[in-house]
Amino acid sequence: MKVKRSIKILSYVLSAAMLLSVGTVANAEASEDVSENVKLSEREQRLEEILNDYYDAVNAQENQLSAASSYQNENSIQEETVALLNEEGFEAYSVNDDTYASVQDTLDTDLKELGVDSEYSYIIVVDAAGEGNGNAQTRASYGGSFNYTYNGTTYSLRRLTVFASDDPKMNKQSTADLLKSASTNLIENCLNTAIYAYIDFLSGPLHMGTVASICGLGIGNFRNGQSATLTLTGATVWTREYTQVWSSYDQKWISGSSVEYVQSKSSITASYYDAYSNTPQIVTRPSSRTSYSKHWNTTWRNQYAVVGYLNSFLQYDTVGNVKYSYGGTVKITHYENF
């Protein structure tokens, strides 16, 4: 069963890859996926791998199908992904309008407090595996939770991660036209211009690549410039991991702290006339980066979870807004407004 589900999800991913490769030229540069200065455990890497495949499959379905069919297929992909996660030892839940109340009861927590809206779809993962990290005050415990001692008192904590499927606050996409004129000089300059992503609370720009390196094209592809277009797409997905504290008084899990990472993807879509084949061509190639908030994988999460719990005030460690820049000018800004 595990193999069948893995194969089925892989088929969705292959569909996404085929969609992105339509009309591409040979030896185009592969997309780049970089984790910024964070060492993930094998378990964390596997979780991200499964969820990245999920996002790619959902995006492929959205591009191929009508709204109604897309919704049904996205739900199917989500269910398959949740089943795979559970088979690999994660405690995963599919959250939508139909399952919202039952998942909330099962998790003994307030989903609204986590920004989870019943109008949209999410995957929630509860996991405490790998806890410890050399901290003598932290040890794995029962039921996906672990113990943490703060100021002489031991608390029961757990990790809860929210992956947004279609929540427009957490999953954003925008486009910008890069080619105002189709002159040969302008196209050549455009191809040599670099794309950068800027993450508000992290230092320095993230180089996504030049237009040419992203889309794998050269000026020779644009023989008939009058019919050429170049479009930048910026896609941003935030993922939040909450550390919750068990409240024996409330008999539920209270969120005390939150860390997060953001996946910033840029893609260049080029359309042009290919004189050699006498056909129009469309090329799309993505470039991606993954950036983590400052306290990802540090004991800050545990300490401030307790601080937040004791003060009834959730402590956030965020990455902030994401900006996509072309030629020194910000073309797309995605605000972290949740």
pTM of the predicted model as reported, rounded to 2 decimal places: 0.82
Question: 108-120 as b/e, with b when 16 or more CB fall inside 10 Å?
Answer: ebebeebbbbbeb
What pLDDT is attached to residue 172?
93
pLDDT tens, position by position, for the chain (338 residues)? 554 455 454 444 434 433 333 332 222 233 344 445 678 888 888 998 999 899 888 877 766 655 555 556 778 899 999 999 999 999 999 999 999 999 999 999 999 999 999 999 999 999 865 453 333 333 333 357 999 999 999 999 999 999 988 899 999 999 999 987 777 788 888 999 999 999 998 867 889 999 988 888 888 777 666 678 899 999 999 999 999 999 999 999 999 999 999 999 898 998 888 777 788 889 888 888 899 999 998 999 999 999 999 999 999 999 999 999 998 899 999 999 99
**Alpha-carbon distances, residue 197 vs 77, 171, 267, 269 (angstroms):** 29, 16, 12, 17
What pLDDT is attached to residue 115?
94
Q: How many Å from the N-terminal Cα to the C-terminal Cα in the chain?
A: 38
